[in-house]
């Protein structure tokens, strides 16, 4: 009998090779393919055995074609009726999937006493973040707030209160929001702007007779105390072990989910008409305006400017105006001489861990004067060329730092001090925030700034985080008006005073009926871990977050609070971390709110669509599925600063609801299975820690004493 085994195996393999689809796929989702396989199988059988029973087999073929094909074609007809653009959502919903359940006592793998201690620390940290988000009118994850509510003696803050009026969007509305037919500034006469309300901006030290407005901001002592609590928490041994085990569990659970449900997710995506990765909405959540173009784009613009505006005065040197032609003649260059290699603005292997060399790449041809003329706003032509460059850099939805949506200021107080341009750190804060307070109090004082702020969503801060810090921010640190040292203030110092001023500004703008801002700093790209602690406490989103891979407690907290992280793997690959070591796929598998961004296309990208370049490289290197890439795209829209109404068009009218009820696969192309898995996993993790705290017999987590609003001398 053993002699016949090879022949039988060969016959089976030949039979399997004739199948048009792999045995592990879902042929029932393709009735035409199923019908073709049945026909092919029957015809093969007929050709082999027709000599034995021709009449019976011929009748069987006729019966098969008569009965089976009719049923299959009816199923095909029904499916065709479903695949109409914007079909009813109920017909596309697929939420039944295979789940992995863990049961039994001590199911988290640690002793119950360790679980309770770790849970109390984690809950305390989440309450600290919620406090600062609520105080500054920034958003907090609604799922986390709902599950923590039983442990709090006050209503927890979820999203900015009254941030936008409710705007109904029909379920069958197109993905594209209605295009405005008018210029955004049309009819914005300065005389029609909101009038002054009689507020006076002054220093509390100089004008004590004025009555202060009761606008909340963080007390410095409370902030330092909360920082110390967070720092102690992230180095606590049992808490680190607990968080590390939970993160490993989240990774393993996602791998099990993929093994069990990957084909169902793919089948759900295939059912959606006219929607795929290419035409879903993707937002570049972290990109600098001064480098939002690629090298070829900048080169073409420089050449075109030299041909069209050679006699335009673009620079003042020694009191004498210089034309564009004069500038290039002084460099012994013509438009024909310029090339991408001549510009020399692309990062290479020499910029790895050399942020100083990377900064020099911002100068075309190594000349700072060309940077001032073409990619700066503070110049003789008032940023005319820069505006044209940004205007034609279209094709991707961007959140531009420094230009359109996010105001970014660098940590260069030490540079200004060395050049005698600043007397202390307080002057730098005044230069940034005083005009914003003035235009909020009286929009007619700076009408252009008031109109510009309607398109600004937040504040960013950037610096080389790898530079050593010689000062620890504590209660003994000098106040901003007393900071006259040559050294730069530490990261947490910058972030606290930015947050404090932004908090007061947000409450003032809320009183005036204007929109508020959020904080989205560069954080965790390099440097010490405490940068990520400050970011967790004070920021709505962060950019980079690479160091979370070394801090399991913070990574678990960022997951539970669903803090947005805009990651730029190609940027990191040239500066701080090789591509294969980037933690983005690990963060994504564990459920952190991550998105892909470009950072600086001028330095890191080659194509006209740098964001698609990021997605394509990530998909190839990390073998991301279509569902993974669509999930990253959906995260980018959720993290972005676009309006609530715009997000309703892009993600669905109910996008702000929790779980699969807030997902519309017809717009996001993310299967409800994936969204349901993420939501259920997050709820299970939150229930694990809250149940442990409640089981211990604590009726509520007593928070610190109420925030005091005593004004600091440095705050405005």
CA distance 501 to 714: 10
pLDDT over 80 at 84, yes or no: no
> Residue 309 in contact with residue 302, Cβ under 8 Å?
no
**Which has the closest alpha carbon to 400: 600, 200, 127, 631?**
600
3-state secondary structure at position 114: helix
Predicted pLDDT at 184: 67
Predicted pLDDT at 13: 57
pLDDT over 90 at 614, yes or no: yes
> Residue 97 in contact with residue 262, Cβ under 8 Å?
no
**Which has the closest alpha carbon to 545: 589, 594, 612?**
594
By mean pLDDT, which of 2-6, 206-210, 222-226, 414-418 is the weakest? 206-210
Predicted pLDDT at 221: 93
pLDDT over 90 at 240, yes or no: yes
Average pLDDT for the chain? 79
Predicted pLDDT at 364: 74
> Residue 315 in contact with residue 327, Cβ under 8 Å?
yes
Could you give the angle at which helices 552-561 and 220-234 cross, rounded to 10 degrees?
120
Render 480-503 in DSSP notation, one character per residue.
GGG---SSPPPHHHHHHHHHHHHH
Predicted pLDDT at 324: 84
Question: Where residue 104 falls among pLDDT bands split at 50, 70, 90?
Answer: confident
CB contact set of 202 (below 8 Å; sequence gap of 6+): 210
Predicted pLDDT at 589: 96
pLDDT over 90 at 37, yes or no: no
CATH of the domain at 418: 3.20.20.140
Other Cβ atoms less than 10 A from the Cβ of 570: the count is 24
> At which of 77, 94, 119 does a domain end?
77
CA distance 691 to 684: 10
| Greater pLDDT, 280 or 417 | 280
- Arithmetic mean of pLDDT, 310-334: 83
pLDDT over 80 at 497, yes or no: yes
Residue 522, H or E segment: strand 522-523
Longest dimension (CA), the chain: 112
Assigned domain for 693 exists:
no
Give me the domain span that covers residue 26: 16-77
- Arithmetic mean of pLDDT, 126-130: 95
> At which of 77, 103, 125 does a domain end?
77
| Greater pLDDT, 234 or 402 | 234
- Arithmetic mean of pLDDT, 36-47: 66
Assigned domain for 600 exists:
yes
Predicted pLDDT at 270: 92
Residue 398, H or E segment: strand 397-401
CA distance 409 to 458: 11
Assigned domain for 603 exists:
yes
Assigned domain for 90 exists:
no
Predicted pLDDT at 617: 95
- Arithmetic mean of pLDDT, 387-408: 56
For residue 287, list its beta bridge partners.
Answer: 400, 599
- Arithmetic mean of pLDDT, 420-439: 85
- Number of residues that make up the chain: 716
> Residue 578 in contact with residue 268, Cβ under 8 Å?
no
> Residue 586 in contact with residue 576, Cβ under 8 Å?
no
CA distance 409 to 433: 11
Render 345-375 in DSSP notation, one character per residue.
-S--GGGTT-HHHHHHTTSGGG-HHHHHHHS
pLDDT over 70 at 429, yes or no: yes
Predicted pLDDT at 700: 44
As a whole number of Å, the CA-based R_g of the chain is 30
The whole model's pTM is what? 0.80
CA distance 505 to 500: 9
Rounded to 5°, the CA angle 397-491-543 comes to 20
Question: Where residue 679 falls among pLDDT bands split at 50, 70, 90?
Answer: very high
| Greater pLDDT, 421 or 565 | 565
pLDDT over 50 at 659, yes or no: yes
Question: Where residue 427 falls among pLDDT bands split at 50, 70, 90?
Answer: confident
pLDDT over 80 at 8, yes or no: no
581: its two tokens? 């070591």
CA distance 302 to 314: 13
**Which has the closest alpha carbon to 682: 552, 560, 589, 554?**
560
555: its two tokens? 């990574």
> Residue 205: what are its φ and ψ, rounded to 5°?
-75, -30
Predicted pLDDT at 409: 57
**Which has the closest alpha carbon to 596: 440, 396, 448, 425?**
396
Predicted pLDDT at 170: 74
Assigned domain for 324 exists:
no
CA distance 524 to 496: 16
| Greater pLDDT, 294 or 227 | 227
Tell me the per-residue pLDDT of 153-199, one tens digit each, with 9 for 90 and over: 888 876 654 445 566 777 777 777 777 767 766 666 666 766 666 66
pLDDT over 90 at 536, yes or no: yes
Assigned domain for 279 exists:
yes
Predicted pLDDT at 175: 77
3-state secondary structure at position 135: helix
Catalytic residues: 544
Helix then strand then coil, % of the chain, to nearest 5: 55, 5, 40
CA distance 324 to 333: 11
Assigned domain for 512 exists:
yes
> Residue 501 in contact with residue 519, Cβ under 8 Å?
no
Question: Where residue 150 falls among pLDDT bands split at 50, 70, 90?
Answer: confident
Domain count, the chain: 2
By mean pLDDT, which of 1-15, 184-198, 321-335, 433-447 is the weakest? 1-15
By mean pLDDT, which of 133-137, 444-448, 585-589, 626-630 is the weakest? 444-448
Rounded to 5°, the CA angle 11-15-19 comes to 165
Q: What percent of the chain has pLDDT over 70?
A: 71
Assigned domain for 368 exists:
no
pLDDT over 90 at 143, yes or no: yes
Predicted pLDDT at 639: 92
Predicted pLDDT at 346: 63
> At which of 24, 57, 77 does a domain end?
77
Q: What percent of the chain has pLDDT over 90?
A: 34
pLDDT over 70 at 92, yes or no: no
By mean pLDDT, which of 180-189, 533-542, 546-555 is the weakest? 180-189
147: its two tokens? 């599950």
> Residue 593 in contact with residue 580, Cβ under 8 Å?
no
């Amino acid at each position: 009998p053993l002699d016949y085994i090879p022949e039988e195996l060969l016959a089976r393999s030949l039979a399997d090779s004739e199948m048009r689809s792999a045995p592990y796929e879902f042929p029932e989702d393709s009735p035409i393919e199923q019908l073709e396989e049945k026909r092919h199988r029957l015809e093969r059988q007929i050709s082999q055995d027709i000599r034995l029973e021709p009449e019976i087999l011929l009748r069987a073929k006729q019966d098969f074609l008569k009965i089976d094909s009719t049923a299959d074609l009816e199923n095909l007809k029904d499916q065709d009726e479903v695949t109409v653009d914007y079909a009813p959502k109920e017909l596309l919903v697929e939420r039944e999937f295979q789940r992995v359940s863990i049961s039994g006592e001590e199911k988290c793998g640690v002793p119950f006493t360790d679980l309770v201690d770790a849970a109390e620390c984690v809950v305390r940290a989440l309450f600290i973040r919620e406090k600062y988000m609520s105080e500054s009118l920034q958003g907090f994850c609604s799922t986390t707030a709902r599950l923590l509510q039983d442990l709090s003696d006050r209503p927890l803050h979820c999203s900015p209160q009254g941030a936008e009026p409710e705007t109904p969007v029909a379920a069958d509305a197109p993905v594209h929001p209605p295009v405005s037919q008018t210029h955004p500034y049309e009819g914005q006469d300065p005389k029609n702007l909101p009038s002054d309300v009689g507020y006076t901006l002054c220093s509390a030290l100089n004008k004590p007779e004025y009555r202060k407005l009761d606008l909340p901001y963080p007390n410095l002592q409370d902030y330092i105390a909360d920082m110390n609590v967070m720092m102690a928490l992230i180095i606590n041994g049992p808490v680190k072990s607990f968080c590390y085990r939970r993160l490993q569990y989240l990774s393993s659970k996602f791998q099990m989910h993929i093994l069990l449900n990957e084909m169902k997710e793919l089948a759900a995506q295939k059912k959606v008409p006219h929607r795929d990765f290419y035409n879903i909405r993707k937002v570049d959540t972290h990109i600098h305006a001064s480098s939002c173009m690629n090298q070829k784009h900048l080169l073409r613009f420089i050449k075109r400017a030299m041909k069209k505006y050679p006699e335009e005065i673009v620079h003042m040197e020694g009191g004498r105006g210089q034309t564009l032609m004069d500038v290039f003649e002084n460099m012994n260059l013509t438009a024909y001489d310029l090339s991408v290699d001549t510009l020399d603005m692309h990062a290479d292997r020499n910029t790895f861990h050399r942020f100083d060399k990377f900064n020099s790449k911002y100068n075309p041809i190594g000349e700072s004067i060309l940077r001032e003329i073409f990619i700066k706003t503070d110049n003789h032509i008032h940023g005319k060329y820069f505006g044209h460059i940004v205007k034609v850099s279209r094709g991707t939805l961007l959140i531009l730092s420094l230009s359109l949506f996010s105001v970014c200021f660098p940590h260069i107080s030490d540079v200004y001090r060395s050049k005698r341009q600043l007397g202390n750190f307080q002057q730098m804060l005044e230069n940034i925030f005083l005009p914003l307070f003035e235009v909020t109090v009286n929009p007619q004082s700076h009408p252009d700034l008031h109109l510009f702020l309607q398109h600004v969503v937040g504040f960013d801060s950037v610096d080389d985080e790898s530079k050593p810090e010689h000062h620890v921010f504590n209660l003994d640190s000098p106040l901003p008006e007393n900071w006259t040292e040559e050294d730069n203030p530490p990261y947490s110092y910058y972030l606290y005073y930015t947050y404090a001023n932004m908090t007061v500004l947000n409450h003032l703008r809320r009183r005036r009926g204007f929109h508020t801002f959020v904080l989205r700093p560069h954080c965790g790209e390099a440097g010490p871990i405490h940068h990520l602690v400050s970011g967790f406490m004070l920021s709505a989103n962060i950019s980079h977050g690479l160091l979370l891979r070394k801090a399991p407690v913070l990574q678990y907290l960022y997951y539970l609070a669903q803090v947005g992280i805009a990651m730029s793997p190609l940027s990191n690959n040239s500066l701080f971390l090789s591509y294969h070591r980037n933690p983005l796929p690990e963060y994504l598998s564990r459920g952190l709110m991550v998105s892909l961004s470009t950072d600086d296309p001028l330095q890191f990208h080659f194509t006209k669509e740098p964001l698609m370049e990021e997605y394509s490289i990530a998909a190839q290197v990390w073998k991301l599925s279509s569902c993974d890439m669509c999930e990253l795209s959906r995260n980018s829209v959720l993290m972005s600063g676009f309006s609530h109404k715009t997000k309703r068009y892009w993600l669905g009218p109910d996008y702000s609801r929790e779980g699969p009820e807030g997902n519309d696969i017809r717009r996001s192309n993310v299967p409800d299975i994936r969204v349901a898995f993420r939501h259920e996993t997050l709820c299970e993790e939150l229930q694990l820690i809250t149940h442990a705290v409640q089981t211990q017999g604590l009726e509520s987590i007593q928070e610190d004493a109420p925030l005091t609003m005593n004004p600091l001398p440095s705050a405005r």
